Structure 1
Amino acid sequence: MKKLLTVFLIVLAIFQNRKLLAQTGIGTTAPVNKFQVETATADPATSGSAANGNLRLSGLSVAHVLDFGLGNTSNFAWIQARNKTYGTNYNLALNPLGGNVGIGTSSPTAKLNLVGGGMRIYDGFTNSGTRPAINTSSIGNYEIRGVGSATGTVQADGADDGFLRLSAGGGTTTTAQSSIDISGFSNTADMNNNIVFRTAGTERMRIDLNGNVLGSNSNTLSGFGATISSISAAYTLAATDNAEVIKSDAASAITVTIPTGLPTGFNCMVLQYGAGQITFAAASGVTIINRNSYTKTLGQYAIATVLHLGSNIVVISGELGN
């Protein structure tokens, strides 16, 4: 009796083991995995309710489903959360309770860890498109936005506060990191509506909420020196000369004309570097103002400043005479 029971148990174990090793196929008689569903390929449908995909997860008395499929227009696989009659798409949450998501890695170390590739954002703009208006609660398909909340625990997409940092380096020491901080509204003055630039872990420059460009407290703001443009013949100033130095190498007298339409606040310096005297002339519609009505440089190495006050009224000053 004991021998018979032993043989029965051995046969049962073999049978169970064979069952565990068996493959299950739907749409195929030769499945290669534990469970395989094989059907016609198809891109995800946008309307209708006919079968579309290889596998569906659905629930009792609900309209939303999760479909899985293989595309037929190119070699891609797809997952789509949507209404079971199609036409309405729903959100797909990955690790909604926590944990990291990896692309190209099985050991992600951040909420989203991308390995072995870059990222593209297709925004739909043409090369003749105008700059889009700033969005409020919605977000554009060209946009990456940091959002916050009053409490810090509930995401508030429609709130004005938010913080975003773009950084590189600094894995072991902050002095090896460069970063850009972008801040929305904040009750903390240091964080309120500004952009902060750092290198070697130290702030080098910031743009405050009024648009002022500020250097750090301990470093000189460098790299903003005026461009020096050389001329040797008659010249008409242009908006692109704003904040620049115009250096005249002319050996004989030349005229620098001030045109209409320069931007308000336009300013530049004009240097008579050569022997040729410079005469400032107003184009039609422009008014030149000087405290002594002078319009000519005094001589070699004389410097004159041009400042547009708006409405085509221009002040010239410096080493001038007639």
Structure 2
Amino acid sequence: MEHNGLPLEPYSNKDSMNKLIVLIVLCLVFFKGTAQTGIGTTTPVNKLQVETTSADPATSGALANGNLRLSGTTGSHVLDFGLSSSSTFSWLQSRSKSAYGTNYNLILNPNGGNVGIGTTNPTAKLNLVGGGIRIYDGFTNASNRPAINTGIIGNYEIRGVGSSSGTTQSDTSDDGFLRLSAGGGTNANTQSSIDISGFSTVADMNNNIVLRTAGTERLRIDNAGATTLAGSLTGNGTTSTLANFSSVMNDQTGTTYTLTNADNGKIITFNNASAISVTVPSLSVGFNCMIIQKGAGQITLSPSAVTISNRYSFTKTAGQYAILSLVCISSGVYISSGDMSN
């Protein structure tokens, strides 16, 4: 065919395809501000709406379950989203795509950032506003106290875990620290807190519980069960008192001994004919014990990076059956008293 003396090419499918593409692009440009996409519905109200039968998250099988799924080209794990059919909750579940009884971890902000519930401005790793935390542990009023867990954590438990390196979480290590506190947003003396610590090479932090009010320690239970109270017997909070000074005996027969926090509140006897050296290291404030020279060997207090004060500068027991008392009044500072000499 010719037109004005020029040959015309036959009309082809290629021309139709090009026109269709142009039409689609024009539609997208025209509708881009108002278009809604619906899957399972002809009246979507959002940019994308997926509508299907509601269902609770299945715990077995591998049939269709939920409204939306995120899956990868590799791996067996998927993330499913859905709406309950038995109640008004919505759900998401990380699980195996071929066995719904196999569940996987769900990670929020793995690279950092805070998570808020009830707030748009979380200021901690988890910031909860407008509600509390409830733990259902399956216990009844007739249940026995559970044994202490080691490698695992119980469904009734909140645990602070440690790290020998300070950077890598170690769930099976013995160290760890947990503090529960309230107040003290601007001043430490307006905070109350409870510190719980596991194993530590720092004596002040080793396996103890510390309670504070107004930012000041009021009660300490050390790793031997000895209790130190702050405040006088009348509770005026001005002096330190001796607590747990009971007849718990620690009998020694050697010629050397080093005191530990486990000796707090104990009566330590030494029965040896030769001279005895008792090393006094830095122990918890309020540490107190009674030392008895049961045998002929005279006992000498040997300070280790601490100061031991005595009214007459005595450092030894006076002789067989002599008794001395030792009290830690502040960090690294002791007072000794009793039947002593040099």
TM-score by structure 2 length?
A: 0.60
Q: Secondary structure at the match of 2:32?
A: helix
Relative to structure 1, the CA distance from residue 150 to residue 21 in structure 2 (aligned partners, 3 Å threshold; closer, same or farther) is same
Contact 1:56 1:68 (C-alpha < 8 Å) held by counterparts: yes
* Other-structure match for 1:72: 85
* Other-structure match for 1:215: 229
1:113 to 127, 149, 166: 127
Q: Distance in 2 between matches of 1:186 and 1:195?
A: 13
User: What displacement does 1:219 show?
Assistant: 3.5
- Asked if 1:41 is matched to 2:59, the reply is no
Q: Distance in 1 between matches of 2:241 and 2:184?
A: 23
* Other-structure match for 1:93: 107
* Other-structure match for 1:128: 142
User: What displacement does 1:21 show?
Assistant: 1.9
Q: Distance in 1 between matches of 2:84 and 2:185?
A: 41
1:53 to 61, 66, 86: 66
Q: Distance in 2 between matches of 1:181 and 1:221?
A: 21
* Other-structure match for 1:191: 205
* Other-structure match for 2:6: none
Q: Distance in 1 between matches of 2:167 and 2:174?
A: 15
Contact 1:204 1:219 (C-alpha < 8 Å) held by counterparts: no
Matches within 5 A, 1:216-231: 216=230, 219-220=239-240
Q: Distance in 2 between matches of 1:74 and 1:14?
A: 41
Structure 2 letter corresponding to 1:83: S
Matches within 5 A, 1:1-322: 16-85=29-98, 86-216=100-230, 219-220=239-240
Q: Distance in 1 between matches of 2:125 and 2:181?
A: 16
Relative to structure 1, the CA distance from residue 73 to residue 14 in structure 2 (aligned partners, 3 Å threshold; closer, same or farther) is closer
Runs of 4+ displaced beyond 6 Å:
none
User: What displacement does 1:16 show?
Assistant: 1.3
Q: Distance in 2 between matches of 1:188 and 1:71?
A: 52
Relative to structure 1, the CA distance from residue 220 to residue 47 in structure 2 (aligned partners, 3 Å threshold; closer, same or farther) is same
Structure 2 letter corresponding to 1:141: N
Q: Secondary structure at the match of 2:189?
A: helix
In the TM superposition, what whole-angstrom CA distance separates every residue of 1:197-239 from its partner, at most 9, and x where no partner exists?
Answer: 00111111100000011024864469x9xxxxxxxxxxxxxxx
Aligned residues: 214
Identity of aligned residues (%): 69
Structure 2 letter corresponding to 1:193: N
* Other-structure match for 1:277: none
Q: Distance in 1 between matches of 2:210 and 2:30?
A: 64
TM-score by structure 1 length?
A: 0.64
Contact 1:65 1:81 (C-alpha < 8 Å) held by counterparts: yes
Q: Secondary structure at the match of 2:33?
A: helix
Contact 1:205 1:221 (C-alpha < 8 Å) held by counterparts: no
Q: Distance in 1 between matches of 2:28 and 2:196?
A: 65
Q: Is there any run of 5+ residues in structure 2 with no aligned partner, and where?
A: 1-24, 232-237, 245-342
Contact 1:81 1:91 (C-alpha < 8 Å) held by counterparts: yes
Q: Is there any run of 5+ residues in structure 1 with no aligned partner, and where?
A: 1-11, 225-322
* Other-structure match for 2:331: none
Relative to structure 1, the CA distance from residue 143 to residue 15 in structure 2 (aligned partners, 3 Å threshold; closer, same or farther) is closer
Contact 1:204 1:221 (C-alpha < 8 Å) held by counterparts: no
Relative to structure 1, the CA distance from residue 34 to residue 202 in structure 2 (aligned partners, 3 Å threshold; closer, same or farther) is same
Q: Distance in 2 between matches of 1:15 and 1:79?
A: 32
In the TM superposition, what whole-angstrom CA distance separates every residue of 1:47-100 from its partner, at most 9, and x where no partner exists?
Answer: 111100000000012100000000111100001000002110000000010000
Relative to structure 1, the CA distance from residue 181 to residue 118 in structure 2 (aligned partners, 3 Å threshold; closer, same or farther) is same
Q: Distance in 1 between matches of 2:171 and 2:162?
A: 7
Q: Give the RMSD, CA atoms, in angstroms.
A: 2.2
Q: Secondary structure at the match of 1:20?
A: coil
